[in-house]
Amino acid sequence: MKVLVGIKRVLDPQVKARVKADKSGIDLTNAKMTMNPFCENAVEEAIRLRESGAIEEVVALSIGAAKSEETLRNALALGADRAILVLTEEVLEPLALAKVIKAIVEKETPDLVLVGKQAIDDECNQTGQMLSALLDWPQATFASKLELVDGAAQVTREVDAGIEVINVNMPAVISADLRLNEPRYASLPNVMKAKRKPLDKIELADLGLDTANRLTTLEVMEPPARAAGMIVETVSELVDKLRNEAKVI
């Protein structure tokens, strides 16, 4: 069995996003980039499935500019067996990403696709769901536990109301939530080894897909700033402020 893991390169979550002066987007010039945290969980889960013997091969996939190779090399260092990079300078919407991943799925025929539940940059939370729709596969989003039993996947999902359990046929698309696992760090020998692991590059145009965006970003703005607050010295002062100034209790 084979798992395909989708990976996105994003602005490091520890770095504060800065809006460009011309309001055209976020300034990523020289910014520290990293693997999207939810994608780290997806990679970790795929590697654990291979380590447990449930699957044989982990293929990492990313779609983006040439620098995404760095993020894929990181996935290889963590334990993915090989990687595929679909090259494009365009920033694709989730629908277009799902079409690209579908094309790769048709070539690779994995038994499972693991993705992060959302990217922390555009926060769309769509690609996994859209991919499973296009493939007519079942989906299990926001997974916090995954077990493969008798050709199906039993998935525990974190939902607003609590914890939900569903059982999906395979092949399936599963999107990882943060509590699915605790991602490992890559050891230095594995980082060195990753440099020699196979990484195929495909030009987006060669896939012959309609990946035109349907949405136009008119502008990107700074959110309104909160007015500065004050430090109170005691609990009774706090209660007084809440009662008589903010009038919220």
Which one, 47 or 143, has the nearer CB to other proteins? 143
Q: Nearest distance from residue 165's CB to other proteins, in Å?
A: 4
Q: Nearest distance from residue 207's CB to other proteins, in Å?
A: 17
Pairing type for strands 9-11 and 33-35 reads: antiparallel
Q: Nearest distance from residue 213's CB to other proteins, in Å?
A: 7
Neighbours of 166 (CB within 10 A): 14
Which one, 191 or 207, has the nearer CB to other proteins? 207
Which one, 66 or 238, has the nearer CB to other proteins? 238
Q: Nearest distance from residue 190's CB to other proteins, in Å?
A: 25
Q: Nearest distance from residue 243's CB to other proteins, in Å?
A: 10
Which one, 38 or 59, has the nearer CB to other proteins? 38
Which one, 71 or 139, has the nearer CB to other proteins? 139
CA distances (Å), 234 to each of 75, 104, 204, 228, 231, in order? 50, 61, 61, 19, 9
How would DSSP label each residue in 56-124? SEEEEEEEESTTHHHHHHHHHHHT-SEEEEEE-SS---HHHHHHHHHHHHHHH--SEEEEES--TTT--
- Cβ contact 3:49 at 8 Å: yes
H or E stretch including 7? Answer: strand 2-7
Give the closest residue to 8 by CA, choosing from 37, 36, 48, 29. 36
